[in-house]
Structure 1
Amino acid sequence: MTAGQALLVATLAFPALGAAGAAILPARADRAGRLVAVSGAALALVASVLLYGWRPAAPAGPARPGEIRPWHELNLRWASGLDLRFHIGVDGISYPLVVLTALLTLICGIYTLWTVPAVEVVSQEAQPRSTPPPCTRGRLLAALLLAIEVGIVGVFLSLDLVLFFVFFEVVLLPMYAVIAVWGGPARRHAARKFVLYTLSGSVLLLVGVFLVVTRAGTGDLVALSAAHGAGLSEGLQLAAFVLLALAFAVKSPLWPLHSWLPDAHTEAPTVGSVILAGVLLKMGTYGLLRIAVGVLPDAARRVAPVLGVLAVAAILVGGLVCLAQTELKRLIAYSSVGHMGFVLLGIATLNATGVQAALIGNIAHGIVTGLLFFLAGAIKDRAHTGELAQLGGLRDRMPRLAGLLGYAAIASLGLPGLAGFWGEAFAVIAALRHGGPLWTVLAVAAALGGALAAAYFLRLLRRVSHGPVGPAFAGGCPPLSAGELVSWAPLVLLTLAVGLIPALVLGLAHDPVMALVAR
């Protein structure tokens, strides 16, 4: 096994071992369990960073249309009777998402060292004797976060359709438990809604994968992408593409399949919201690009106008709904619908500018929205409410927190020089470059959606940071803790770094993107 292959395995093995180690420790060793989890997450981040440092020299000559050239690749026999293989690899498209997943999981693990959400119980009598008190469940929360990391990283590394589906499903139960156990008052309803929507998408994904694998005779993504859909009839390509696109639209989520997202974000604990918005949603857009577009290019061209219309509808609907929101986390959740609409618009253009916009939009959304949910959690922890009408005067009570909220908000609305700008601006430019009346109208409408983002974020800042002190802060509030500042610092710095140096993401993806769109 080469060093690169060992690092691929390590990015999956370290979080899995950290999760197992944290979970098996007894309740009295709760903090030690959280430290074990953080150690596993830290080692996974180191392994993911080293994947770039150990990458081989670029092969001679440009990649063939559709060709996937992994930096590192591991292809092992998995189930010989079914001709299934454990095939993983990483390239410039998947690598930034792998690092982002490892980073956000580590940050959330560090956050749990200081803050573990209480587990609400009705009464002591109603609580089983074997159930540990809330203060001893932090290690279980950290273990679940690492289990989610295994599933998400596995999705980004998978180069086999069946393996992709398996990792896609690994995320479901751990995220359900995070919401249902550590969430807010309506956590069980939100968790059930999350599961029902996700399972529906999984059924569609399974059928789409089955169609492609049985007709093509292989689930190998490298071979399928290089084949350009050869051996698959136009009707089968279209049917499979629609099934896969619907499955990924549920996970992203994209309008009109997004209604599970606001409830899940509102009720999830802070770390759950950060992982959910930061990287779990990216499984959908990554799958749409890597699998649906990469494997079924002819169907992608036929459906692209529909995807463009749905993307712009998500941008406009998300912005308008945000203007009507009165609760902090729900507003940020609905803003995700609009931002992911820009990612879908970039993919739908099927040109290099649009795909690059989608890739950097994914990363920027993960960084900025993750920071926004951390800040929203800090505000709700102190105010014990997320109602905007009660949160006025944050600038007077906590000027540093108000400043960070303003910084994250203007980054999310797309201020030039910060991470949110590139994905949104170049998705609009890509639509214009596509040409034609429809795409020109879509570009103009998407730009108006960007203006809506400015409107609802400025409204948010006016209500929360400015004006008279609201009832929630009338009695004062505790200062920011060391754990909060340590957890937020990497996201604050990355928001500026990606905004000023977009080549941190785009430089890695240039060659694979050009191969993808060359068809």
Structure 2
Amino acid sequence: MNLLSVVVFLPLAGAIAAAFFPPAEAGQHRALALVVSLATFLLSLGLWFGFSAVPGAPEFQFETKVPWIASLGIGYHVGLDGVALLLVMLTTALTPIVVLSAWNAVHERVKEFMIAMLVLETAMLGTFAALDLVLFYVFWESVLIPMYLLIGIWGSDNRLYATVKFFIYTFVASVLMLVAIIYVAGHAGGTFDYVQVRQTLQTTASAQRWLFLAFAVAFAVKVPMFPLHTWLPDAHTEAPTAGSVILAGVLLKMGTFGFFRYALPLFPEAALHFRPAIAALAVVGIVYGALMCFVQKDMKRLVAYSSVSHLGFVMLGLMALTAEGLTGGVYQMLNHGVSTGALFLLVGMLYERRHTRLISEYGGIARRVPWIATAFVIVTLSSIGLPGTNGFVGEFLILSGTWLGRLAHATWFAAVAATGVILGAVYMLILVERVFFGPMRNAKNSALPDLSLREWVVLGPLLLLIGLMGLVPQPFLDPAKAPVDRLMTRFAAAEQRLRAQDPSRLPTTGTQPTPVLAGRQ
């Protein structure tokens, strides 16, 4: 078993071990989950430092390929390209932070909670590492079970409605993808191996469009894209803090990753056909999510709608099909995981102190909790994309990539998306002002404790990443370069095929790196 497989399955092994601990030993379960998740992160550093991003390096590294159900063409095939590596690192870094954040927040069924967290980590890691379509689908669907339990058991009062809505949306959409996967294997020589399918898949233009839609709907629900987003605010509002952090930090990236890894490269001609519509929905989501933030009374629900807006930027970058747009989209996946994860942690810390998330219950608390206020302001500046923070790098690349690309109405898309940046700054700064500044309106806030040592340990790595990714982004950009270049090459070939069929067709993708990233060649 190679290092990648160890990283993927170590949390599951920890969950199995935890099953044999007595339920009453809550401290042991917390410690075991923390040790296992930390060990997984430390082992994943071997993936980070062992990965080669130099030109000519293998497309997929740390690869393992063995038969699983050979008679059906299904195998255990895992490996990492640069984009998958970044998301694996995000997952292994966030999980111990989430476990530590729940240390004092979860008091009932601690054993089951920690088992669910570890099983969820394996499912998420497997989703990013899988290179067999059936294996990918197994991991993809496996995420639903622990997430359903996290919200349904440890959530708030309306948790049953939120969990059922979450499950129905994601499961129904995923069934469409399963049907498409079976069809794809039948037209790719009877194999489910992603690398082989990408090379041998042959379908008609009409079939490719239906297949793309089947994959795209499953991924769009998970992102979630407007108008398939309605499950997200309810899920976030009812989930425990740990569930919200892992949902926003990693789970939603499975959808954007799915577009980058599967929907776009497997069905490039269909993607070109639907690209303007998806970009338009992304822009609508950016503005709609931002506007909805202005009318929220619950801090958690506000951050949830901000996710709809921020992930609209990711989708716009992916649909730009330029080096800047694609790279910015990948980078913004990481940024959202770090910044929005930190926001949910901070909201959870306030909730632990006051047991309310209503904005009106706060005001003027910065004088009582100056370090919480400072951390909240830093994360807010990251969320709105202030230069020097990680958010600026991703949004700048996405907007420039959209503007410079050949997407129809690209100028309008970029201009309208830019208003989302402005709206984001306004609603986040209003939130900060109403919660932390002005007169202290509620006497119950007069004795709030500031950050504890444990909370510093939880927030510290994320605050460090906000500055590091904003000031020194290149180490995080480099792994994405080769996958982005390969995807652009694939779309250039698809466009040539379409132009051969219709010579009057104009180029619609940025087939050459544009000036912003020219220095990276």
| 1:222 corresponds to 2:195 | yes
1:104 partner SS: helix
Amino acid corresponding to residue 101 of structure 1 in structure 2: T
1:87 partner SS: strand
Amino acid corresponding to residue 206 of structure 1 in structure 2: L
Of residues 56, 67, 76 in structure 1, which corresponds to 2:66? 76
Of residues 71, 78, 82 in structure 2, which corresponds to 1:88? 78
Segment drifting more, 485-494 vs 433-442? 433-442
Of residues 75, 96, 101 in structure 1, which corresponds to 2:91? 101
Q: Deviations over 1:209-268 (max 9, x none)?
A: 1221222232222223345xx512111111010111111011111111111111111111
Of residues 82, 95, 104 in structure 2, which corresponds to 1:115? 104
Segment drifting more, 395-404 vs 359-368? 395-404
Distance 2:291 2:140 in 1: 31
Of residues 36, 41, 44 in structure 2, which corresponds to 1:40? 36
Q: Would you say how many aligned residue pairs link Structure 1 and Structure 2?
A: 489
Distance 2:384 2:232 in 1: 20
Distance 1:164 1:95 in 2: 16
Residues 53, 479 of structure 2: 8 Å contact kept: no
| 1:307 corresponds to 2:293 | no
Distance 1:38 1:258, change over 3 A: same
Which residues in structure 2 correspond to 1:278-317 (within 5 Å)? 278-317=249-288
Shift of 1:207: 1.9
> Residue 432 of structure 2 aligns with which residue?
461
Amino acid corresponding to residue 40 of structure 1 in structure 2: V
Residues 78, 85 of structure 1: 8 Å contact kept: yes
Of residues 2, 5, 8 in structure 2, which corresponds to 1:9? 5
Shift of 1:384: 1.4
Shift of 1:59: 6.8
Residues 393, 473 of structure 1: 8 Å contact kept: no
Distance 1:41 1:388 in 2: 33
Distance 1:21 1:475 in 2: 44
Distance 1:461 1:504 in 2: 31
Distance 1:465 1:59 in 2: 49
Residues 82, 479 of structure 2: 8 Å contact kept: yes
Of residues 131, 140, 151 in structure 2, which corresponds to 1:159? 131
Distance 1:201 1:483 in 2: 39
Amino acid corresponding to residue 66 of structure 2 in structure 1: L
Distance 2:477 2:53 in 1: 18
Which residues in structure 2 correspond to 1:10-25 (within 5 Å)? 10-25=6-21
> Residue 455 of structure 2 aligns with which residue?
484
Q: Deviations over 1:56-79 (max 9, x none)?
A: 68574xx8xxxx711221001001
Shift of 1:437: 5.7
2:2 partner SS: helix
| 1:421 corresponds to 2:395 | no
Q: Deviations over 1:176-231 (max 9, x none)?
A: 1111111111112111111111111211221221221222232222223345xx51
Amino acid corresponding to residue 481 of structure 2 in structure 1: H
- Root-mean-square deviation (CA, aligned residues, Å) is 1.6
2:114 partner SS: helix
Of residues 167, 192, 207 in structure 1, which corresponds to 2:164? 192
Residues 185, 197 of structure 2: 8 Å contact kept: no
Distance 1:183 1:211 in 2: 38
> Residue 127 of structure 1 aligns with which residue?
none
Shift of 1:472: 6.8
Residues 18, 38 of structure 1: 8 Å contact kept: no
Distance 2:12 2:202 in 1: 38
TM-score under structure 2 length normalisation: 0.91
> Residue 123 of structure 1 aligns with which residue?
none
Shift of 1:456: 0.5
Residues 394, 473 of structure 1: 8 Å contact kept: no
Distance 1:59 1:409, change over 3 A: closer
Distance 2:165 2:234 in 1: 8
> Residue 169 of structure 1 aligns with which residue?
141
Aligned-pair identity in percent equals 40
Distance 2:377 2:197 in 1: 45
Unpaired runs of at least 5, structure 2: 491-521
Residues 332, 372 of structure 1: 8 Å contact kept: yes
Amino acid corresponding to residue 39 of structure 1 in structure 2: V
Unpaired runs of at least 5, structure 1: 119-133
Distance 1:414 1:32, change over 3 A: same
1:94 partner SS: helix
TM-score under structure 1 length normalisation: 0.91
> Residue 114 of structure 2 aligns with which residue?
142
Distance 1:333 1:11 in 2: 30
Which residues in structure 2 correspond to 1:302-381 (within 5 Å)? 302-381=273-352
1:93 partner SS: helix
Distance 2:322 2:413 in 1: 15
Distance 1:56 1:507, change over 3 A: closer
Shift of 1:49: 1.2
Amino acid corresponding to residue 45 of structure 1 in structure 2: F
| 1:210 corresponds to 2:200 | no
Residues 178, 269 of structure 1: 8 Å contact kept: yes
Shift of 1:514: 0.5
Q: Deviations over 1:111-141 (max 9, x none)?
A: 23x31334xxxxxxxxxxxxxxx2xx22321
Residues 157, 238 of structure 2: 8 Å contact kept: yes
